[in-house]
Chains A and B, each alone.
Chain A
Amino acid sequence: KNQVEQSPQSLIILEGKNCTLQCNYTVSPFSNLRWYKQDTGRGPVSLTIMTFSENTKSNGRYTATLDADTKQSSLHITASQLSDSASYICVVSARSGGSYIPTFGRGTSLIVHP
């Protein structure tokens, strides 16, 4: 069964600090991995998308890494801001025939304190 595990479940940091969120997956055959940011009460918004051949991708202060051998990804947030407080969701897609089946992680809840 395809699974995506995220850690930690929740995280509290001070404004200006860096943090790293983890995503481990057992999804096969792998198609791509995405990180989404979801503000409270809103829908998820895509941050990054990585395919098998990519091992790092940045979007401003967000940097995602992918190790396809160990099936691990991380999302690093640099110089955190109060607006980074949100849930971060890792989504891994498997290719099934002509379809792509996403498996969602349960998310990491990040709180940035002033």
Chain B
Amino acid sequence: DVKVTQSSRYLVKRTGEKVFLECVQDMDHENMFWYRQDPGLGLRLIYFSYDVKMKEKGDIPEGYSVSREKKERFSLILESASTNQTSMYLCASSLPMDYGYTFGSGTRLTVV
């Protein structure tokens, strides 16, 4: 069964901490995405990557960075966590020809 695995289901961090959210897919997908999901706002794209070592900003990249050193792994980094980054974070992957996304189970991050 194909999978997108996010390293943590729940995470609590303090304001100012550097936070790493990890995502690994086993489907050999070229495309990987990071979204955040907030009540009433739906999914919003933070960053995406179409290939190893490449990245593109999404709609809300401020306060975030990403790393894709290997095809299967896409990391989201909060350089200095703030309370307004408390959210559900979803990783997804897809083939280049848009045959649909496979989502991870999500990481619920709370910044206190």
Which residues of A are interface residues toward B (Cβ below 8 A)? 31-32, 34, 36, 41-46, 49, 89, 91, 93, 95, 98-100, 102, 104-107
Contacts and interface: CB of A to CB of B under 8 A. Distances in A.
A95 B68 CA distance: 24
Interface size classification for chain B: 20 to 34
A44 B98 contact: no
A57 B42 CA distance: 24
Given A43-B104, A99-B50, 15 more contacts: A32-B98, A41-B88, A41-B106, A43-B92, A43-B105, A43-B106, A44-B101, A45-B103, A46-B101, A89-B42, A89-B43, A93-B98, A98-B96, A104-B42, A107-B42
B66 interface: no
A52 to B, nearest CB: 13
B100 A31 contact: no
Contacts of A31: 98
A106 B100 contact: no
A106 to B, nearest CB: 4
Given A31-B98, A43-B90, A104 B43 contact: yes
Contacts, number: 44
Nearest to B4: A43
Given A31-B98, A32-B98, A102-B101, A44 B41 contact: no
21 contacts: A31-B98, A32-B98, A41-B88, A41-B106, A42-B105, A43-B4, A43-B90, A43-B92, A43-B103, A44-B43, A44-B101, A45-B103, A46-B100, A49-B99, A49-B100, A93-B98, A95-B98, A100-B98, A105-B42, A106-B41, A106-B42
